[in-house]
Amino acid sequence: MAKALTDKEINQAMEKIKKKHEEYALKYSRELFSYESFKKRYLDFLKTKGVIDVFLFAEIQALEDKKNEIEDKIAKRKRVKEAGDVLTKKEEEIFQMIAGYPEDLFHDDARIEIRKLMATLKILSDNLNRFSYDISNENRHAYQHAQTILKDFMIQPFSGLFSKYYRELSSPIKKPSEIEVLEQQVIKEWGTALSTFIFVLSKVKNNEEIKDFIDILKTVQDDFRLTIFNPLI
């Protein structure tokens, strides 16, 4: 059986609790770490004639648990802010890289990268169609699949994933989280198509025109930060 605290140890524990309340009230919140509230709990406890050791230990533990919970929330907010700062910086870099690209104003609320990439892919589509006749049978299916992705936004009414994105943008009750998910999916789909065009066209030999066109596709891929997406093959 554990030895009961002496009067001196009880006084030391009470002083520790008081100092912790004062420290945490100043650093975090006077409301959450109110020493007056503790004193009321202490007086109420004395009326119960319970074991003071257990009460004091529980109070000290509750103080530390509450402090740790707040610290965890502060750290989480800091991580979220840092992640947000990184994303903001990346967005600013992308905006600088794509500033000179054309823009398709299919919807005012559409993400600017999508508006610009859409306009660029439309311009490139004629050559993508023309060079499809130079593709070997082995790679034709993947190339045509990538072309189908672009057809989703070439003419209205839109189709496929892009159609869903457009409907969400046009909805009177917008769902920002859903729109953001669709934006990421659209960019991934277009990035995958672009990587497929580059991969398949690079298999065509002895064609300087296609080689020059691949350089253009790679520039678009780099400027829009789409190199992370793998081809369909």
How confident is the model at residue 170, as a pLDDT? Answer: 95
Measured CA to CA, the distance from residue 94 to residue 97 in angstroms comes to 5
How confident is the model at residue 1, as a pLDDT? Answer: 47
Measured CA to CA, the distance from residue 57 to residue 54 in angstroms comes to 5
Phi/psi-derived region of residue 138, left when phi > 0, alpha when psi is between -120 and 50, beta in every other case? alpha
How confident is the model at residue 2, as a pLDDT? Answer: 56
Mapped onto helix, strand or coil, the DSSP state of residue 135 is coil
pTM for the full predicted model = 0.63
Q: What is the pLDDT along the chain (233 residues), one digit of tens a residue?
A: 456 778 888 888 888 888 988 888 888 888 888 888 888 888 888 888 778 888 888 888 988 898 888 888 888 888 777 766 665 666 677 667 788 888 999 999 999 999 999 999 999 999 999 999 999 999 999 999 999 999 999 988 999 999 999 999 999 998 999 999 999 999 999 999 999 999 999 999 999 999 999 999 999 999 999 999 999 88
Residue with tokens 């050559």: 127
Hey, which bits of 67-149 come out as E strands? none
Radius of gyration for the alpha carbons in the chain, expressed in angstroms and rounded? 32
How confident is the model at residue 180, as a pLDDT? Answer: 94
Measured CA to CA, the distance from residue 197 to residue 14 in angstroms comes to 73
Angle 73-77-78 from CA coordinates, rounded to 5°: 115
How confident is the model at residue 79, as a pLDDT? Answer: 79
How confident is the model at residue 117, as a pLDDT? Answer: 94
Please name the amino acid found at residue 220: V
